[in-house]
Copies of this chain bind each other. A is one copy, B any other.
């Protein structure tokens, strides 16, 4: 689960990064509106935390722009206390929620969970489970029947995506969009390579879970009887 922070106060951004990483989110932070826009448009994020007052490009304009581009990533606005007008503008322009600075960590985390849940995302627990496997996305570890091994980032992201989508078939396009960003040049072969890596590791663990191919459509995770 990947979150982008767009916040010009570097200290706050770093504090948030730490807090969110502790909750097993993947976090990137940028400190001006233009970088925020560029990153947000990649489409690889599951949620944006967006300050309103930003150098180069303010948060409201950034938000409007990505919505015009068809990016529907949930957005939580970070506002200074008392900027009620800004809050309303943000909500009307496509924000999902806002939170006023300073805020309680617990409240922020609850709002993030709520926003992700609304978008139909399954909110990750500490460890993701499917069949007899257990994936630790922050530690990049995959466990099964006591045995455990390390994954590399792309493997973990791929398996996480497949687990979160449960019984739905996931196309290579969707995988590319999620792992490499929607305008990336990544080839189908990239996906195939990581599917192959993952299958080898699942086999090594004797997992009952397998990645089955639906030819011409995509991949789906299955727990064997």
Contacts and interface: CB of A to CB of B under 8 A. Distances in A.
Interface in A136-184: 138-140, 152-153, 167-169
Contacts of A129: none
A118 interface: yes
Contact of A113 (B91, B107, B140): B91
Nearest to A113: B92
Which of A94, A114, A123 counts the most chain B CB atoms within 10 A? A114
Interface stretch (A6-14, A39-47, A185-193, A214-222): A214-222
Given A91-B113, A107-B88, A220 B96 contact: no
A202 B106 CA distance: 54
Contacts of A91: 110-111, 113-114
Contacts of A121: 120
A134 interface: no
A145 to B, nearest CB: 19
A15 interface: no
Contacts of A96: 114, 118
Contact of A139 (B104, B106, B139, B169): B169
Contacts of A168: 138-139
Interface string A106-139: 1100110110011011010000000000000011
Contacts of A123: 120
Contacts of A87: 107, 110
Contacts of A106: 84-85, 88
Interface of A: 84-85, 87-88, 91-92, 94-97, 104, 106-107, 110-111, 113-114, 117-118, 120-121, 123, 138-140, 152-153, 167-169, 214-217, 220
Return the 10 tightest CB-CB contacts between A and B, nearest first. A88-B110, A91-B114, A91-B110, A153-B216, A138-B169, A139-B169, A140-B214, A88-B106, A84-B104, A84-B107
Given A85-B106, A88-B107, 6 more contacts: A92-B114, A96-B118, A120-B121, A120-B123, A139-B214, A153-B216
